Amino acid sequence: MAAEIRVRFAPSPTGYLHIGGARTALFNWLFARHHGGTFVLRIEDTDRARNTEEAAAAIYEGLRWLGLNWDEGPHVGGNFGPYFQSQRNEIYERHLKRLQDAGHIFEDQGALRFRSPREHVIVDDLVAGKIDFDLSNEQTHPDMTVRRPDGSWIFHFVNVVDDMEMRISHVIRGEDHLSNAAKHIELYRALGAEPPRFAHIPLILNRDGSKMSKRDQGASVDYYTKRGFLPEAVRNYLCLLGWSPKDNREKMPIDEVVKLFDLNKILRSHATFDPDKLHWLNGEYAHELSDERFQELARNALTASGIKLENFADDYIRSALETCKGKINTFDELPAYCGFYFNDDFEYNAEGVAKHFTAENRPRLLAVRDAFAGLEKFNAAEIEATLKATAARLGLKPAVLIHPTRLAVTGSNAGPSLYHLLEVLGKEKVLARIDRALSIGR
């Protein structure tokens, strides 16, 4: 492509960053990076009643979390600002006057409307193909408002003006805007400007086929940050919603996606959002984290859950978390998985109590406790050998002792490797917890 590539993401700050908006931003960012172009962030804040600074901040934070740095826009600047529509009123006035002087605007009950040429408009879309929109019927396609009676601007007009002024070469947005493209082309022509190339990407649907709305769980980028998803995993998954590298790969580093991404690889069919697949993909990324990053994210997750890590030695925390790496998919799973390390007064799993804290198992658990009490070295290897020797002496398989022992010291039927977690807890704490379990039902 010889012409300079300039694309934009233009959200309205009326709420959180929707996952669909994030996918749109990502596709624009990928296209710009693939072609060495410019990615512009523009805030469409003309809705005075609904726009908030908090919502704008959520957009910035969500994009930064996903690693989608913008080349022009808020906090960055650029040669085509301001990048807030609320600050561009003089620009809109100037272009409105051009339309008025050319006879394209008329007043209707205080509102200003654009007089449609009443023609067929062909949108040559890079994803959807050529589509012929018949705008000749005034009943089905009334003249669009460009300015309300209260003086506020309508999306269609300011959107076109901004894209013209910011020299946007490609408009990449959701398929729900496809019908707007014909109206926008009419405005471009009336303003004597060449329209950008359009690429309308497929909508994101829930697994039941319904359109993903703001009310759906998981529709917000903030949902994933709070749950402890990894930004690289969420970004990777969003790449696959409507785009494919054509070789069925799913886990791909972003640098490779940038090399492969182009609009001709965007799929025409709707994309289905599968939370289970994202959960799995996040686990794949989580398992590959460096020890340092895993420790940092794990500590943040535990602290956010209310666990007071300052009450524990750093070496103890580090050793405890080492037993968890590669065992969780998202960091919000961590408090339930390893919270027992930081709480002696945990509750026992009720099903586990009924199954493993039986009268038959009580003397077996006591035998394990006595065997552990006799250990001089309380490390994983010695613990494993001792438990297996105790099982052999009792004529049992080790699993018969492993389950009640795990339940006694963690309150759960599942978790990190038993022998390693016992070593981390230490002999004194393990014996005390087994004593506590043996006291149940006395």
User: What angle do the packed helices 291-304 and 314-322 form, to 10 degrees?
Assistant: 110
**The token pair that represents 9 in the structure block:** 């993401």
Query: Side-chain half-sphere of 135: how many Cα atoms within 13 Å?
Result: 23
Alpha carbon distance 227, 65 (integer Å)? 13
Q: Which of 97, 130, 183, 214 is catalytic?
A: 214
**The token pair that represents 215 in the structure block:** 């009310």
N-to-C CA span, the chain: 80
Alpha carbon distance 57, 49 (integer Å)? 17
Beta strands 197-201 and 145-147, pairing class: unpaired
**The token pair that represents 261 in the structure block:** 């991404």
Active-site residue flag, 251? no
**Radius of gyration, CA atoms only, the chain:** 30
Confirm if 144 and 114 have CB atoms less than 8 A apart: yes
Alpha carbon distance 367, 394 (integer Å)? 9
**The token pair that represents 195 in the structure block:** 């329209």
Q: How many CB atoms lie within 10 A of CB 181?
A: 22
Which distant-in-sequence residues (6+ apart) come within 8 Å of 99 by Cβ?
105, 114, 146, 190, 191
Catalytic residue numbers, as ranges: 214
